Amino acid sequence: MATKVQSTEREQWSHQTGFILAAIGSAVGLGNIWRFPGVAYEGGGGAFLVPYLIALLTAGIPILFLDYAIGHRFRGAAPLAFRRMKKWTEPLGWFQIMLSFVIAVYYAAVIAWSMSYFVFSFDMEYADDPKGFFLGEYLQVGEPEISTSIVAGVAIPLVLVWVAVLVILGLGVAGGVQRVNVIGIPLLLVAFIALVIRALTLPGATDGLNELFTPDWEALSDPDVWIAAYSQIFFSLSIAFGIMITYASYQKRKANMTSSGLVVAFANSSFEILAGIAVFSTLGFLAFERGVGVGELEGLTGPILSFVTFPAVLAQMPAGSLWGAVFFGALVIAGFTSLISILLGVSASLQEKLGVSRRAAAVGVAAVCGTISVALFSTTSGLLALDTVDQWANNIGVVTSAILMAIIVIWIIRKGDELRFHLNSVSTFKVGRIWILLLGVLAPIYLSYMLIERIITLISDGYEQLPTWYLVVFGWGTIAFTVIAAFVLTALPWRNSTERFTPWPQLRHDDVKTALAGPPQSADGSTNGEIK
Ligand code: PFF
């Protein structure tokens, strides 16, 4: 059967601010509030800011620009954009989208918990025994096994999350995703500022901050700390997941890409550091109330930090109920705007490959991901599965994706100069050759070193004392699933022709030398009337 040429206009963000807010919405998420403070604390406190900033400058921003350049130039969600760049690279796009898919199914569960806790905050249901309440009464956590008993308290908000996803994706890029972010991000900012001010004025706040910011320089010699910093940056900026490729593909052809990227990266790290300050000042208060040192408190990382330790603080704080609602409300907004971005990547990819409508893709994605999400993560074994999948998808999957992307684009298909030309043609902040150097040389070397180190540690030491079969299924199994699914999805036929596409601005030979630094003289922003 002959494939047809897609003729419909590509959706677009309605303005630059819409794109920036949506990209900030994707970046600022549970990772900032729920992951960063704990990862920073475990990774040497104040000293962690060193690998964190190095990771941001040497890999975070360069890879963010790479994602933007690929999506904006080749105008597709990850699989289509990679395919248009070089046909055989399509599986890398699907690998990234599959990682997003895996993350979405558990990420939604944490949003569902936050929704429940937002409601519980009104009568402080968790106040008496936060740990017993979270693990026992609420999640009903059991043994590491594959449980089929669904916990209604989690399943109900989780279904609501997926219904909301369906509606927003169905409404499209400008009508749905952009609108949620234009409303959500300012709200989130207000909630955040209020939380930070409240936290800083609690007695004991300085002790908490000292704990977070007092450097433990020894941590810097531990490769696991470095890999934690890089994975945190990837997760936090939503890069190497195909998401920013997809977002950039909906940007107008003439759009200032690198400057927006800098705004997004700066906003994301600011939110992250603010969250660290808010969380640790509050922990300082808890330690002060209990008459212990902050380091003696338990549960300073992972979900326990937000859902056990934080509720314990709220229980002792004046107007804890109000602050609980603000905190968990902020988690819901931050998480939801990120979840939408993850799923837009998945649904846009399917839409383009299978030639289905936006609504059909939205229904398909919400139904499939929603069912898996409820089946796996609203059961009594949900918490453990979540932690394990998170660990592998982020520390192994995304780092691998970043390495492959850098090596393939710069060394194998040699698109570095073209992409740099592209960014510089449309943006006011020009990227120099250092960008290619960082992507092509430094990033692959140190990321590979860290990845190998991490794999060896996970194989030799296991993870959190979980049984090996469990790690094989939920850890390595997750990676195997993403790789196999990537090849299966690549093998499916494209319903629309992907061949007739000319990137804009067109790259002429002499451009390579001269135009890398400036805008193309002949650029008129017109498209050639083919696939948009
Ligand atoms: N950046 C989001 C956060 O920090 O929570 C999470 C995320 C969104 C990860 C989108 C990956 C992604 F593709």
DSSP strands (E only) in 375-509 = none
Q: Residue 516's pLDDT is what?
A: 57
pTM of the model: 0.92
- List CB contacts of 109: < 8 A, sequence separation 6 or more: 154, 158, 373, 377, 378, 382, 386
DSSP 204: T
According to DSSP, the residues that pair with 420 across neighbouring strands are none
- List CB contacts of 367: < 8 A, sequence separation 6 or more: none
Cα–Cα dist 268/281, whole Å: 20
Distances (CA, A) of 14 to 189, 309, 334, 422, 432: 22, 41, 22, 21, 29
pLDDT along the chain (532 residues), means of 10: 53 96 96 87 88 95 98 97 97 98 94 97 94 92 77 95 97 96 97 94 94 89 87 92 97 96 96 91 92 86 86 91 96 97 97 96 96 88 84 92 97 96 96 96 92 93 92 96 98 88 81 54 40 37
187: number of Cβ within 10 Å:
12
Tokens of 53: 């900033």
Q: How far is the CA of 2 from the centre of ligand 1 (A)?
A: 38
Dihedral of the alpha carbons of 250, 253, 254, 258, in degrees to the nearest 10? 60
Whether ligand 1 lies within 6 angstroms of the CB of 100 is answered as yes
CA-closest candidate to residue 486, choices 402, 367, 397: 397
- Burial classification of residue 457, based on how many CB atoms lie within 10 Å of its CB (0-12 exposed, 13-18 middle, 19 or more buried): middle
Q: How far is the CA of 27 from the centre of ligand 1 (A)?
A: 6
CA-closest candidate to residue 113, choices 377, 368, 362, 319: 377
Domains, the chain, in order of start with CATH, read: 17-382 (1.10.4160.10)
Report the alpha-carbon angle 505-9-3, nearest 5: 95
| Nearest residue by C-alpha to atom 7 in ligand 1 | 238
Question: Counting atoms of ligand 1 from 1, which one is nearest the CA of 334?
Answer: 5
Q: Residue 371's pLDDT is what?
A: 95
| Nearest residue by C-alpha to atom 12 in ligand 1 | 238
Cα–Cα dist 61/261, whole Å: 7
SS3 breakdown of the chain: % helix, strand, coil, rounded to 5?
Answer: 75, 0, 25
Q: How far is the CA of 26 from the centre of ligand 1 (A)?
A: 6
Cα–Cα dist 99/94, whole Å: 8
Question: Counting atoms of ligand 1 from 1, which one is nearest the CA of 242?
Answer: 13
Q: Residue 494's pLDDT is what?
A: 96
Q: Residue 387's pLDDT is what?
A: 85
Question: Counting atoms of ligand 1 from 1, which one is nearest the CA of 338?
Answer: 8
Whether ligand 1 lies within 6 angstroms of the CB of 475 is answered as no
